[in-house]
Copies of this chain bind each other. A is one copy, B any other.
């Protein structure tokens, strides 16, 4: 093994090639917590050219390439392979912000830039990079784009895909595609970047991106409300959108079980007097200081109380109160991630079908396993309800774990029946590959295979992922 390693050290330098077990350890698992596998090496190129050299070296040696960002994924899409010699291609050393251009409302960043750092750099020039999610303190731009990550404000700003103007990608033969355009409109040929966004690192590795920026919202109001039902939540959302328009940036639904999970975390408090069966967290934001969004939100919520859809509501009166509301929301996700015996799902259905989905999936899992606790919560405005499950109180964690596969299938099938998807924002990765294969339309799978073959005939990139 020494000879090929020396070869790549000559290209990337000692810092760019990690082969010691201890140093590799932090590159072997994402937030899922699988059994770590040892790769041939972790390559850490510091530039696009070094990435190209790394890809060519892997291609010559027939090592599978697994691109890796901040490892905040939940689909085992960026971890070493157990069935084939693989190399981790970590983007963390490509972490330069190449340009922030406020006049063009854009920024050019390398794949290894941490999302929160990119957001901060935009804020320095009074611009907003809206992509926002729980992992943003360590997730990297390349990973966000490869997963097409979503988050809490996709309702208003779209997903990672919608923030991209241009990409730079190293293709499976090591060629660099420079598509770093700073353009909002371009119809010169197929929109190639769309393949790599959400491509889960199967078609090449993203090395840099041009991201769209917006004027910075300086006017923000957050509210927490008890709603009568998921149907009521949807009516409230549409009513607030009519009253507040494009300033409604987030609208999160939380069921009582999920709420209780969140409240079990340290330092988390309930913004209302009583926990409700269904709650929503609403955030409204705009750069326009002259718009009285607080009054408009208050009026909108008052109308919803009058109509009976909202039972109680509170508007945050300080930054601390606003942060407390979000701490509760984020704690729910964290508690589920930390509880290795809980079952996490990433389904979505058309927003209008969320109420039916919750009823149907709750009934279906209870039929299969009486006592199982459904904990649907998430982004109701875009239909992305995380239909998570907790074990029956009388069942052990490991026993419940044995039921995960069947329960996952039930939850996913109920989503598909309503025109939904098994993966809204986390990707297929390795963990949903089987579900995807069983559930996806054969025409669609055939198209995807043809595209993958056209770009990566040897399945060099992330072969265990997707299909």
Please give the residue numbers on chain A whose beta carbons come within 8 Å of chain B beta carbons, in ascending order.
101-106, 126, 147-148, 150, 154-155, 158-159, 161-162, 171, 175-179, 181-192, 194-195, 197-199, 214-217, 234, 238, 241-247, 286-292, 295-296, 299, 348-353, 379, 382-384, 419-428, 432, 436, 440-441, 443-445, 447-448, 450-455, 466-467
A187 partner residues in chain B, CB cutoff 8 A: 147-148, 150, 198, 421, 423-428
A379 to B384, CA, bound (A): 34
Q: Which of B184, B216, B296, B424 contacts A185 (CB 8 A)?
A: B424
A184 partner residues in chain B, CB cutoff 8 A: 154-155, 158-159, 348, 351, 382-384
> With contacts A126-B242, A175-B443, A440-B189 known, is A101 near B352, CB below 8 A?
yes
Q: Which of B147, B186, B296, B450 contacts A454 (CB 8 A)?
A: B450
> With contacts A215-B241, A299-B290, A447-B177 known, is A384 near B185, CB below 8 A?
yes
Q: Once the chains bind, are B288 and A290 in contact (CB under 8 Å)?
A: no
A234 to B101, CA, bound (A): 13
A299 partner residues in chain B, CB cutoff 8 A: 290
A421 partner residues in chain B, CB cutoff 8 A: 181, 183, 185-188
A440 partner residues in chain B, CB cutoff 8 A: 188-189
A sample of 5 cross-chain residue pairs with beta-carbon separation below 8 angstroms, ordered by A number, consists of A105-B238, A161-B191, A184-B384, A187-B428, A189-B448
Determine the residue in chain B with the shortest Cβ distance to A287.
B245
Determine the residue in chain B with the shortest Cβ distance to A246.
B246
Determine the residue in chain B with the shortest Cβ distance to A150.
B185
Q: Which of B101, B158, B159 contacts A350 (CB 8 A)?
A: B101
A443 partner residues in chain B, CB cutoff 8 A: 171, 175-178
A463 to B178, CA, bound (A): 26
Q: Once the chains bind, are A286 and B350 in contact (CB under 8 Å)?
A: no
The 3 closest A-B pairs by CB, nearest first: A194-B194, A103-B352, A454-B454
A199 partner residues in chain B, CB cutoff 8 A: 190
Question: How far in angstroms is the closest Cβ of chain B from A455?
Answer: 7
A96 to B451, CA, bound (A): 32
A182 partner residues in chain B, CB cutoff 8 A: 350, 352, 419
Q: Once the chains bind, are B448 and A192 in contact (CB under 8 Å)?
A: yes
Q: Which of B105, B178, B234, B451 contacts A190 (CB 8 A)?
A: B451
A101 partner residues in chain B, CB cutoff 8 A: 350, 352
Q: Once the chains bind, are B192 and A444 in contact (CB under 8 Å)?
A: yes
A102 to B352, CA, bound (A): 8
A106 to B349, CA, bound (A): 13
A190 partner residues in chain B, CB cutoff 8 A: 195, 198-199, 447-448, 451-452
> With contacts A103-B238, A181-B421 known, is A348 near B154, CB below 8 A?
no
A106 partner residues in chain B, CB cutoff 8 A: 350
Question: How far in angstroms is the closest Cβ of chain B from A200?
Answer: 8
Q: Once the chains bind, are A103 and B198 in contact (CB under 8 Å)?
A: no
Question: How far in angstroms is the closest Cβ of chain B from A429?
Answer: 9
Q: Once the chains bind, are B198 and A467 in contact (CB under 8 Å)?
A: no
Q: Which of A186, A422, A432 has the most CB of B within 10 A?
A: A186
Q: Which of B178, B383, B419 contacts A441 (CB 8 A)?
A: B178
Q: Which of B352, B423, B466 contacts A186 (CB 8 A)?
A: B423
Q: Once the chains bind, are B214 and A185 in contact (CB under 8 Å)?
A: no
A101 to B226, CA, bound (A): 26
